[in-house]
Amino acid sequence: MYQLGSMANKHAALKAIEVESGGIGIMAKKMELLYFFIKDLKTPAANILKQDALSIGAELAVPSGVILCEMPTYDCILIGTVKHMEILSRKELAQPFGLKSVAKELKRFLAVKNHPTQVMGIINANDDSFYKGSRFLAEDAIKKIKKMMKEGAKMIDIGAVSSRPNAAKVTESVELERIKPICDAIATEKLFEKAIFSVDSYNPAVVEYALKSGFGLINDITGASDTSIIHLALKYKAKLCIMHMQGTPQTMQENPDYENVMVEVSQFFAERISKCEALGMEKKNIILDVGLGFGKTLEHNLTLIKNMGHFKVFGCEVLVGASRKSMIDKVIATPVEERLAGTLAIHLKAVENGASIVRCHDVKEHVQALAVAEVLK
């Protein structure tokens, strides 16, 4: 006897023992437990959902005071199989006290689709980024880009301004001066035909210059706070990566504080996605980045990584970027140059939990690690 692992293994095991094909999908739904945190559920709704869950073999974990209605709302955890959630997503549509919204949210989670995993290489066209091994200017940058593409990078992210904690501010003219030679070379050699190029900037002038050079993605650490960035993405038919950051690079790590980091980051994405859609952008062109290390403590970062799959509910690709970051040093004291192993551990877990784009300094090692992880599913 042995315990089956991933859903892929469960499907394969059912097929191996020659379960009837129609039954495989039905039985597989009963082989995976799901857990949903529900914040501020009205007390009557909690009691109804508790009974409905128990009636089908699922469970709603609630505080002890719920049955006595001591408070108007409670935080709860819904536990059950995929099959249970399908039933509840239909059953709660007819219930009052906000349970219709819970049902609709369950339907959204059940409809989530997976995206193929892609590796994004990092090129920092400046002399201030926290990892010296990512700093490249002009011709050296192009050589490194070609090397990353050969190693398997499908995307290349290029930024001319450091966004590390307490990074010095850079003027628009300096940022343009740094990135122009690289953009020009990419355009001249038509490298954009072989990979997707991303401009790591929130400066409209810099972004537009890159898009004119063939870039197809805007990586905006301010989360598209400037509407003109969204307009540029639409004008040039480019994708947009929205990142969450509390504060600015100069202030973000002074005292990061959240009542609930998952809830607050999720609300931020919901608002920014709505803003983009209102201007005409489709979800398929939006990428989400939770912003590890951008206004987060180690505990915040770990929570986001462990629950990365939640953000797939928005219907967008999810990017993870923890390459050689200080959170590794907070787990085990390690200089930047020696954080590759920690980086791989974080990124593999993030991909397992739902991320599909891995932003990293070490392309070759990530391509290898991800390929091995894929066959182990």
Q: Kindly state the tokens that stand for 77.
A: 């955890």
pTM score, two decimals? 0.86
pLDDT in tens, 292-318: 999 999 999 999 999 999 999 999 999
pLDDT top residue among 65 and 196 = 196
pLDDT surpassing 70 at residue 135: no
Each domain of the chain, given as residue ranges in start order, spans 32-110, 118-375
Task: Look up residue 154 and give its DSSP letter.
Answer: S
- Across the range 134-150, mean pLDDT stands at 84
For domain 118-375, the CATH architecture is Alpha-Beta Barrel (3.20)
Residue 154 a catalytic site member: no
| pLDDT level of residue 8 (50, 70, 90 thresholds) | low
| pLDDT level of residue 350 (50, 70, 90 thresholds) | very high
* Active-site entry in 132, 359, 364, 377: 359
| pLDDT level of residue 1 (50, 70, 90 thresholds) | very low
- Across the range 83-88, mean pLDDT stands at 96
Supply the DSSP string of 233-277, one letter for each residue: HHHTT-EEEEE--SS-TTTTTS----S-HHHHHHHHHHHHHHHHH
| 118-375 and 32-110 share a CATH fold | no
Task: Look up residue 135 and give its DSSP letter.
Answer: B
Give residues with Cβ within 8 angstroms of 372, minimum separation 6. Answer: none
Q: What pLDDT score was predicted for residue 23?
A: 79
- Across the range 132-137, mean pLDDT stands at 62
Q: Are 204 and 218 in contact (CB under 8 A)?
A: no
- Across the range 278-288, mean pLDDT stands at 97
Helix (H) or strand (E) holding 76: strand 73-81
- At 37, is the secondary structure helix, strand, or coil? strand
**Burial group, residue 219, by CB count within 10 angstroms (0-12, 13-18, 19+):** buried
How far apart are alpha carbons 118 and 34 in whole angstroms?
26
How far apart are alpha carbons 203 and 228 in whole angstroms?
9
Least-confidence region, from 22-31, 45-54, 302-311, 362-371: 22-31
Residue 237 a catalytic site member: no
* Active-site entry in 135, 312, 325, 339: 325
Percent of the chain residues topping a pLDDT of 90: 75
Strands lying side by side in the sheet with 73-81? 33-42, 73-81, 59-61
CATH entry, 32-110, from 3.30.70, 3.40.50, 3.30.1370, 1.10.3470: 3.30.1370
> Cα–Cα distances in Å, from 88 out to 55, 94, 103, 132?
10, 10, 7, 52
Q: What pLDDT score was predicted for residue 274?
A: 97
- Across the range 27-54, mean pLDDT stands at 92
